[in-house]
Amino acid sequence: MKRFIFTLSSFAIFFILALFIYPSQVTAHCDTLDGPVVKAARKALETDNVNYVLIWVKPEDEDAIRKALKRALNKRRKAKSKEEKDRANLEFFETLVRIHREGEGVNYEGIKPAGTIEPEIVLADEIVETGEIDKILSKISSAQAKEIVRHLFHKVKENVEYDVDDVNTGREFIQAYVQFIHAVEKAVKGLEIQLENHHH
């Protein structure tokens, strides 16, 4: 009986955690011009290092991203104006974001303008850099949600200083990062209350 209760409790915790990080329930910011995916794309274009963006896609999509970067770099070199170079950049951004979103199981709806990221997401990004987790925990009312966010934050910090050429570790960081961002957005919006009610 005790074993059954333990198993049931473990399943309940996993179920709640999964609901917190499920991407289709949140807006996130991976499809904005000032979001982390496009920032990584800019870095790849500047350095001609595809590893900056491979961490944002699945291994089976690597070839498509390599070709997209090569194509964009060729167009940039041949560009005779800033407008042509910007078009080459945007084409690469769109390809990368689309493949990333599809890899998350989310429909690609284009790239949103800069400045459209919600305040709690901006704060969550700052916390990843500064480590000041209390700034976001103070905005979350549910004790259970705070524990989930704190746990996911520690997972992010484990690999935050990964080597750019270590794609596998980079992917582990991105997975933890995306889960953390999704959880923060839901928790700050109070969606954890709905999830707790659903569980009970």
Q: Which domain holds residue 192?
A: 118-200
Whether the per-residue pLDDT at 78 is higher than 60: the answer is yes
188 in any annotated domain: yes
Q: How far is CA 112 from CA 10, 57, 98, 185, in A?
A: 38, 19, 12, 18
* Cα–Cα distance, 161 to 173 (Å, whole number): 9
Task: Identify the H or E element spanning 52.
Answer: helix 51-54
166 in any annotated domain: yes
* Cα–Cα distance, 193 to 118 (Å, whole number): 20
Read off the pLDDT band of 102 (50, 70, 90): very high
47 in any annotated domain: yes
Is 108 exposed, middle or buried, given 0-12, 13-18 or 19+ CB atoms closer than 10 A?
Answer: middle
Cβ pair 179, 152 in contact under 8 A: yes
Arithmetic mean of pLDDT, 177-197:
72
Read off the pLDDT band of 139 (50, 70, 90): very high
Last residue of some domain: 99, 116, 133?
A: 116
Last residue of some domain: 53, 84, 116?
A: 116
Lowest mean pLDDT among 21-35, 36-50, 125-139, 150-164: 21-35
More confident residue, 82 or 6: 82
Arithmetic mean of pLDDT, 102-112:
89
Whether the per-residue pLDDT at 89 is higher than 90: the answer is yes
Domain check: are 48 and 32 in the same one?
Answer: yes
* Cα–Cα distance, 30 to 34 (Å, whole number): 9
Domain check: are 96 and 143 in the same one?
Answer: no
Verdict on whether the full-model pTM lies above 0.75: yes
Is 173 exposed, middle or buried, given 0-12, 13-18 or 19+ CB atoms closer than 10 A?
Answer: buried
Measure the CA angle with vertex 125, ends 192 and 193; round to 5°.
5
Q: Which residues pair with 32 in a beta bridge?
A: 112
